[in-house]
Amino acid sequence: MNATSNASSAVIRIEDLTVQYAQGTVAADSINLEIPAGQIVAIVGESGSGKSTLTKTLIGLLPQGTEVQGSVRFGGTEVTNLSLSDWRAIRGAGIGLVPQDPGASLDPVKTIGSQIIEVFRLHPSRSVPKAQWRSKAIELMQSVGIDRAESRLDQFPHELSGGLKQRVLIAIAFALNPQLLIADEPTSALDVTVQRTVLEVFVSLARKKGTTVLFVTHDLAVATDIADRVLVMNSGRLLEDRSVPALVAQSTEPYTKALLDQAYAHQDRQQPSTSDDIAITVEGLGKVFGKGRNEHQVLSDVSFEVQRGTTFSLVGESGSGKSTTAKIIMGMHPATEGSVLVNGREVANISGKQRYDLWRDAQLVYQNPDSALDPRQSIGSIIAEPMVNYRLGDSARRAQRVAQLMDQVNLPEQLVGRRPGELSGGQRQRVAIARALASGAKILVLDEALSALDVLTQEQILELLDQLQREEQLTYLFISHDLHVVERISHRVGVMCRGQIVESGTVDEIYSNPQHEYTRTLLAANPGKVLRELADSRTA
Amino acid sequence: MGTYIVKRLGQALLVIWLAYTAVFIAVQSLPNDPVTIFLSTDSAADPATIAQMKAYYGYDQPLFVQYFSQLLGLLRGDLGYSLSNGSEVATRIGEVAGSTLILAGSAFVLSVVFALIIASAASLARGGKLRKALLNLPPLMVSIPVFWLGLLLLQLLAVQLGVMSLFPDGSFMSLAVPIFVLAVHLSAPIAQVLIKSVQEVNRQPFIEVLRAKGASEAWIFYRHTLKNAAPAALSIAGITIGALLAGSVITETVFSRAGLGQLILQSVTAQDIPLVQGLVLLTAVVFTAVNLLVDLIHPQLDPRIVTSTSGATRSLVA
- Beta carbons within 8 Å of A538's beta carbon, 6+ residues apart: A248, A249, A260, A264
Instruction: State the Cα–Cα distance between residues A79 and A55, nearest whole angstrom.
Output: 13
Quick check: A104 and B206 CB within 8 A? yes
Inter-chain contact B209–A105, Cβ cutoff 8 Å? yes
CA distance A392 to chain B (A): 40
Inspect the interface and report whether the beta carbons of A122 and B213 lie closer than 8 Å: yes
> Which helix (H) or strand (E) is A486 found in, with range?
helix A483-489
Cα separation of the two ends of chain B: 20
Nearest alpha-carbon partner for A19 in A31, A8, A7: A31
pLDDT digit of tens for each residue in chain B (318 aa)?
Answer: 678 888 889 999 999 899 889 988 888 888 777 777 777 766 666 778 778 877 777 777 788 888 888 888 888 877 777 877 778 888 888 888 888 888 889 999 999 999 999 999 998 887 778 888 888 898 898 888 888 999 999 899 888 888 888 787 778 888 889 999 999 989 999 999 999 999 999 999 999 999 999 999 999 999 999 999 999 998 888 888 878 888 888 888 888 888 888 888 888 888 888 888 888 888 888 889 988 888 888 888 888 876 544 433 333 333
Reference B301, options B201, B211, B214, B218; nearest CA is B201
Burial of A432 (0-12, 13-18, 19+ CB in 10 A): buried
Say which of B214, B216, B308 has its CB closest to residue A123.
Answer: B214
Distance CA B241, CA B236 (A): 9
| Contact assignment for A108 to B301 by CB distance below 8 Å | no
Residue A110 with chain B: CB contacts under 8 Å = 224, 227
Residue B205: which of A104, A122, A158 has the nearest Cβ?
Answer: A104
Q: Judge whether A101 is closer than 8 Å to chain B, CB to CB.
A: yes
- Pick from A89, A91, A123: CB nearest B211: A91
Burial class, A84, CB count within 10 angstroms (exposed 0-12 / middle 13-18 / buried 19+)? exposed
Q: CA nearest A175 in B: which residue? A: B213
**A118 in helix, strand or coil?**
helix
A123 at B interface, C-beta within 8 A: yes
Q: Which helix (H) or strand (E) holds A404?
A: helix A395-408
Inter-residue contact A455 to A488 (CB < 8 Å): no
CB of B205 less than 8 A from some CB of A: yes
For every one of its 540 residues, what pLDDT tens digit does chain A have, with 9 covering 90 and above? 444 444 457 899 999 999 998 888 888 899 999 999 999 999 998 888 888 899 999 999 998 889 999 999 998 889 988 998 999 999 999 999 999 889 899 999 999 999 999 999 999 998 889 999 999 999 999 999 998 899 999 999 999 988 899 999 999 999 999 999 999 988 888 888 889 999 999 999 999 999 999 999 988 999 999 999 999 999 899 999 999 999 888 888 888 988 888 888 776 666 666 677 899 999 999 999 887 777 888 899 999 999 999 999 999 888 889 989 999 999 998 999 999 999 989 998 888 899 999 999 999 998 888 888 999 999 999 999 999 999 888 889 999 999 999 999 989 999 999 999 888 888 999 999 999 999 899 999 999 888 888 888 888 899 999 999 988 899 999 999 888 889 989 999 999 999 999 999 999 899 999 999 999 999 999 888 888 888 777 754
Q: Tell me, what DSSP letter sits at residue A272?
A: P
H/E segment holding residue A31: strand A26-36
- What pLDDT was estimated at residue A492? 93
**In the prediction, which pLDDT does B264 show?**
85
Q: At what angle do helices A425-438 and A379-389 cross, to 10 degrees?
A: 20
pTM over 0.80: yes
Distance of CA B147 to the CA centre of its chain: 17
pLDDT at B205: 92
Please give the Cα distance from B255 to B157 (Å, whole number).
12
Q: List CB contacts (< 8 A) between B208 and chain A.
A: 61, 99
Looking at chain B, how many residues does it have?
318
A-contacting residues of B 154-173, CB under 8 Å? Answer: none
Query: Which helix or strand (DSSP H or E) is residue A522 part of?
Result: helix A517-525
Asked if residues A55 and A253 have their Cβ atoms less than 8 Å apart, the reply is no
Indicate the Cα dihedral angle B154, B157, B159, B162, nearest 10°. -140
What's the CA dihedral at B254, B259, B262, B265 to 10 degrees? -130
Residues of B in contact with A290 (CB under 8 A): 309
Q: Which amino acid is at A125?
A: S
Rounded CA separation A315/A482 (Å): 7
One DSSP character per residue, chain B reads -HHHHHHHHHHHHHHHHHHHHHHHHHHHTSSS-HHHHHHTT-TT--HHHHHHHHHHHTTTS-HHHHHHHHHHHHHHT---B-TTT-SBHHHHHHHHHHHHHHHHHHHHHHHHHHHHHHHHHHHH--SHHHHHHHHTHHHHHHHS-HHHHHHHHIIIIIIIS-SS-SS--S-HHHHHHHHHHHHHHHHHHHHHHHHHHHHHHHTSHHHHHHHHHT--HHHHIIIIIHHHHHHHHHHHHHHHHHHHHHHHHHHHHHTT--SHHHHHHHHHHTT-HHHHHHHHHHHHHHHHHHHHHHHHHHHHH-THHHHS-GGGTTTTT-
Question: Which of the residues B209, B308, B316 would you substitute to probe the A interface, choosing the one with the greatest number of A C-beta atoms within 10 Å?
Answer: B209
Interchain contact, B213 vs A92, CB within 8 Å: yes
Nearest CB partner across the interface for A61, out of B206, B212, B228: B212
pLDDT of residue B318: 30
Other CB atoms within a 10 A radius of the CB of residue A530 amount to 18
Which of B214, B302, B307 shows the shortest C-beta gap to A88?
B214
Exposure string (b/e) for A473-495, b if CB count within 10 Å is 16 or more?
A: ebbbbbbbbbbbbbbbbbbbbbb
Q: What is the pLDDT of residues B48-64, one digit of tens each?
A: 877 887 777 777 778 88
Using CB atoms, pick whichever of A104, A118, A159 lies closest to residue B213: A118
Domain ranges of chain B: 97-270
What pLDDT, on the 0 to 100 scale, is given for residue B311?
38
Class of domain B97-270: mainly alpha
With an 8 Å Cβ cutoff, are B301 and A109 in contact?
yes
Q: Are A61 and B208 a contacting pair at CB < 8 A?
A: yes
For A182, phi then psi, to 5°, come to: -105, 120
* Residue A115: closest C-alpha in chain B: B210
DSSP code of residue A35? E
What number of other Cβ atoms are within 10 A of residue A458's Cβ? 21
Smallest CA–CA distance, residue B306 to chain A, in Å, is 12
Q: What is the dihedral of CA A144, A146, A149, A151, to 10 degrees?
A: -150
Are A181 and A202 in contact by the 8 Å Cβ rule? The answer is no
- CB contact (8 A) between residue B205 and residue A96: no
Is A294 part of the contact surface with chain B (CB cutoff 8 Å)? yes
- The pLDDT of residue B73 is 82
Q: How many CA atoms lie within 13 A of A410 on its CB side?
A: 12
The verdict on A118 touching B (C-beta cutoff 8 Å) is: yes
Closest to B226 in 3D by CA, of B187, B186, B188, B199: B199
Give the separation between CA A93 and CA A181, rounded to whole angstroms: 10
Confidence (pLDDT) at A141: 94
Is this complex scored with an ipTM above 0.90?
no
Under an 8 A CB cutoff, do A88 and B216 touch? Answer: yes
Q: Name the residue of chain B whose CA is nearest to A65's CA.
A: B128
Using an 8 Å CB-CB cutoff, list chain A residues near B219. Answer: 122
Q: A158 vs B303: CB contact, 8 Å cut-off?
A: yes
End-to-end CA distance of chain A: 21
Beta bridge partners of A477: A312, A445
